[in-house]
Amino acid sequence: MSSNDCKESLSIRQATPSDVGVILELIHAIADYEKLSHQVTANEDTLRDSLFGPHPAAEVCLASWQGVVVGYAVFFHHFSTFEGQRGLYLEDIFIQPDFRGKGIGKALLRHLARLALERDCARFEWLVLDWNQPAMDFYRGLGAEILDDWKLCRMTASSIQKLAHSED
């Protein structure tokens, strides 16, 4: 397939409130791929409020192939104290398996890189699961550095509550 065929078949756009259903479908698809379906508690109401309510927590870009939504990227801004500037943080990127290898993932990342430049972001960052070697190879091929010296720290609702209500 030539790059012109890809350009004619692919479109990327910002999601709107009417896309909440398809966003939730893609969330379930990535969770299934990552074998984490049991962790999904999002529903259309929480997504509508979190993404399109008065204080949106994140943005979503949808990738369509020949008019059918086949992938997405969820992202938000974070802040680098060292740079003194905001950055773009990619929470999720997912392309339906039948549509991989068509340049859709690269096009989504290119779209986000352009947004990062437009928004004067000092960094564009994301995490990748340590078992997902195809993704790591893909990201390295785009010029991303995979940092080995940083580890993710996470607190879930019960841990947050425990810490917030502790006195000592």
State the catalytic residue, choosing from 33, 72, 89, 139. Answer: 139
Name the packing angle between helices 44-52 and 20-33 (round to 10°). 110
Is 139 a residue of the active site?
Answer: yes
Task: Return the ∠ at Cα 99 (arms to 97 and 100), rounded to 5°.
Answer: 70
d(CA 62, CA 49): 18
Q: How far is CA 110 from CA 13, 45, 47, 77, 98, in A?
A: 13, 30, 25, 17, 21
d(CA 55, CA 131): 34
Contact status, residue 34 vs residue 129, Cβ threshold 8 Å: yes
Q: Tell me the catalytic residues.
A: 139
